Amino acid sequence: MDLWFTEYYTKNARFSIKIDKHIISLESEFQRIDVFDSYGFGRILALDGYLMLTEKDEFIYHEMMTHIPMAVNPNIHDVLVVGAGDGGVIRELTKYNYINKIDMVEIDKLVVDVCRKYLAQTACKLDDLRVHIYYEDGLKFVRSKYNEYDLIIVDSTDPFGPGEDLFTKEFYGNCYKALKTEGILINQHESPYYPNDALAMQKAHKKIKSVFPKALVYQAHIPTYPSGHWLFGFASKGLDPIGDLNTGWKTLGIKTRYYNTDLHKGCFALPNYVKELLKNA
């Protein structure tokens, strides 16, 4: 059999992964959800046909969203995660025993149910006692929060479909309000390479910058995302991701396969063309 999952990065570029089995395909109220067993990438999750994660490289995305802020502020106890139905960010957060509370707001319960059943690699810590899952709209959820979180991680889909609200100025403004003084906002920030992704990146940066006094962008190599060059946003009310990096992180003994302290410093050094795009956002 010759079965391939293909994602079009633009109408002129596409990436394909050979599939063994189509495990499940469901249509939720919000999106189409597919799980495949692939050759070479383990199990993979797609939402509306876009690849969300592969077992082979999801660690890169989830580590980079989680450990960067955790290493900057060693006093993060209350965390809000928006989206992230696969549980990967939650798995990384639960490695910190001093986190007290993890609120997770995922609009689509079916994504969580599917991941619990078919993607234990990421969903394995969703039952941690500190995790409280709210099946709600992230934008609405955060609207009523004030000075409540040390960290908000926005692990959203792209800025169209169910994830669209999570790229609005209103949402970023509400996140600002929901964060404590030392609070940090991390968001998946699209990619600088293909024109549509680059535009989404610019728009997101412009909005975040208009709300947060500190708004930086960092990068990681995620081979199964479009271009493999993926960006994240680090926004805060003052904390600097490098200047305030807590050198004590290493002593926590947290095992990572991508993240380390040198890379933490290195990943904020962006190529000139990306800096240009952000400056002109």
List, as residue ranges, the binding site for S-methyl-5'-thioadenosine. 31, 106, 137-138, 162
Which member of 37, 155, 197, 262 is catalytic? 155
Cβ atoms of 79 and 71 within 8 Å: the answer is: no
Contact between 125 and a second copy by CB under 8 A: the answer reads no
Report how far apart, in Å, the C-alpha atoms of 214 and of each of 194, 201, 217, 234, 256 are.
Answer: 26, 16, 10, 8, 27
C-beta neighbour count of 75 within 10 angstroms: 9
Contact between 273 and a second copy by CB under 8 A: the answer reads yes
Structure tokens that stand for 56 in this block: 């082979």
Q: How far is the CB of 265 from a second copy (least distance, A)?
A: 7
Contact between 256 and a second copy by CB under 8 A: the answer reads yes
Contact between 260 and a second copy by CB under 8 A: the answer reads yes
User: Which residues make up each annotated binding site?
Assistant: 31, 62, 86, 106, 137-138, 155-158, 162
Contact between 279 and a second copy by CB under 8 A: the answer reads no
Separation of alpha carbons 201 and 192, rounded Å:
7
Q: Using CB under 8 A, which of the segments 168-176, 177-185, 222-230, 246-254 binds a second copy?
A: 222-230
Q: Which of 15, 50, 118, 135 is in the footprint of a second copy by CB under 8 A?
A: 15
Q: Which of 32, 132, 140, 265 is in the footprint of a second copy by CB under 8 A?
A: 265
Contact between 188 and a second copy by CB under 8 A: the answer reads no
Q: Which of 161, 213, 238, 271 is in the footprint of a second copy by CB under 8 A?
A: 271
C-beta neighbour count of 258 within 10 angstroms: 17
| Dihedral angle sign, alpha carbons of residues 225, 231, 236, 242 | positive
Percent helix, percent strand, percent coil in the chain, to nearest 5: 35, 30, 35
* Beta carbon nearer to a second copy, 74 or 228: 228
User: Which residues make up each annotated binding site for spermidine?
Assistant: 62, 86, 155-158
Separation of alpha carbons 153 and 232, rounded Å:
10
Residues constituting the chain: 281
Q: How far is the CB of 241 from a second copy (least distance, A)?
A: 13
* Beta carbon nearer to a second copy, 10 or 181: 10
Is residue 86 exposed (0-12), middle (13-18) or buried (19+ Cβ within 10 Å)?
Answer: buried
Report how far apart, in Å, the C-alpha atoms of 237 and of each of 53, 87, 141 are.
Answer: 31, 27, 21
Any catalytic annotation for residue 155?
Answer: yes
Contact between 39 and a second copy by CB under 8 A: the answer reads yes
- The footprint of a second copy (CB under 8 A) covers 4, 10-18, 38-41, 57, 60, 193-194, 219, 221, 223, 227-229, 256-260, 262-273, 275
The residues annotated as belonging to the active site are 155
